[in-house]
């Protein structure tokens, strides 16, 4: 459906003293088509910067983000303006769901539909489908401020999915939720993504979250970020159970890999 390749991405940000800070130092990896690719790395290493570059919100200084989407030529598309092929349709779920509090739940989705120029005839069907998927159909007329943090994040997820993106980007969407809410929402998100089959990239600093959600885990170094290793999950989404031995083994292996790599880097 949609393929994403990050190729030698380099990004500098200006410091206050006028010097340049290197944030992305040649980041390269392929996202797993149809699956969830977790971008795992320490805070401040440049994960959000990379996700923003994929979304076209931030410009790279060097390197490319390549997309291959249905309807484009065999050549990958990219953000370089003179390449002809179309850009993929992207959904973005933020750490803070960024809802419009003066609009009802369903109107928050409609706002996204309007922004994406989605035909009015399909609004009703999409509202029902995606609010049901996240378990919030009966709250469609509610205002966000009356919802719990977990429910607000579910609205953010429904809004990201309802535009039917080819690529869904999620930036630490569960990190502000309490443990039990986050656990349930991770499970629901994995189920929903497996069902819908879009290509998803999820930023996290949490090894357990990466092991549980990622079909592929891309391990970032600390800043300036480069990729230390790419690990494919040996367990299918349906086989992952936080209390199961096979899962615990994989989580442990991932943690050991991260610790070993970080140690080798001398960080």
Ligand X SMILES: Nc1ncnc2c1ncn2[C@@H]1O[C@H](COP(=O)(O)OP(=O)(O)O)[C@@H](O)[C@H]1O
Interface residues with ligand X (CB under 6 A) are: 13, 23, 41, 43-49, 223
Give the list of residues 6+ apart from residue 93 with CB closer than 8 angstroms, or none. Answer: 156, 157, 159, 160, 168, 169, 170, 171, 173
The residue within the footprint of Mg ion, chosen from 24, 40, 48, 133 (CB under 5 A), is 48
Give the list of residues 6+ apart from residue 172 with CB closer than 8 angstroms, or none. Answer: 95, 203, 204, 205
The distance of closest approach from Cβ of residue 206 to ligand X in the complex, given in angstroms and rounded to an integer, is 12
Dist CA 109 CA 162 (whole Å): 7
204 binds Mg ion (CB under 5 A): no
**Among 28-36, 46-54, 152-160, 207-215, the segment contacting Mg ion (CB under 5 A):** 46-54
The distance of closest approach from Cβ of residue 40 to ligand X in the complex, given in angstroms and rounded to an integer, is 10
User: CA Rg, the chain, in Å?
Assistant: 19
**Among 40-48, 67-75, 121-129, 246-254, the segment contacting Mg ion (CB under 5 A):** 40-48
Q: Pick from ligand X, Mg ion, none: which does 200 bind, CB < 5 to 8 A by kind?
A: none
Contact indicator for 84, 128 with CB cutoff of 8 Å? no
Dist CA 3 CA 56 (whole Å): 16
The distance of closest approach from Cβ of residue 135 to ligand X in the complex, given in angstroms and rounded to an integer, is 28
49 binds Mg ion (CB under 5 A): no
The distance of closest approach from Cβ of residue 165 to ligand X in the complex, given in angstroms and rounded to an integer, is 21
The residue ranges that bind Mg ion (CB under 5 A) are 48
């Amino acid at each position: 459906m949609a393929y994403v390749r990050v190729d030698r991405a380099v990004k500098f940000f200006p410091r206050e003293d006028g010097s340049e800070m290197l944030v992305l130092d040649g980041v390269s990896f392929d996202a797993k088509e149809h699956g969830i690719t977790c971008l795992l790395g320490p805070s401040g290493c440049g994960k959000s910067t990379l996700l923003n570059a994929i979304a076209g919100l931030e410009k790279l200084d060097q390197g490319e983000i390549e997309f291959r989407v249905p309807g484009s030529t065999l050549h990958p598309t990219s953000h370089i303006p003179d390449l002809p092929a179309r850009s993929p349709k992207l959904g973005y779920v933020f750490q803070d769901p960024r809802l419009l509090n003066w609009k009802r739940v369903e109107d928050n989705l409609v706002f996204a539909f309007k922004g994406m120029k989605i035909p009015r005839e399909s609004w009703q069907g999409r509202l029902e489908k995606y609010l049901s998927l996240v378990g919030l159909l009966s709250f469609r007329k509610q205002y966000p401020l009356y919802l719990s943090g977990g429910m607000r994040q579910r609205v953010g997820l429904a809004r990201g999915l309802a535009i039917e993106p080819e690529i869904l980007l999620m930036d630490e969407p569960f990190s502000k939720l309490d443990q039990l809410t986050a656990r349930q929402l991770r499970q629901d998100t994995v189920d929903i993504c497996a069902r819908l089959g879009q290509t998803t990239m999820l930023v996290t600093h949490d090894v357990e979250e990466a092991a549980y959600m990622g079909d592929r885990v891309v391990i970032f170094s600390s800043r300036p970020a480069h990729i230390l290793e790419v690990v494919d999950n040996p367990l299918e989404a349906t086989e992952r159970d936080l209390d199961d031995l096979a899962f615990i083994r994989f989580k442990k292996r991932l943690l050991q890999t991260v610790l070993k790599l970080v140690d080798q880097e001398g960080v």
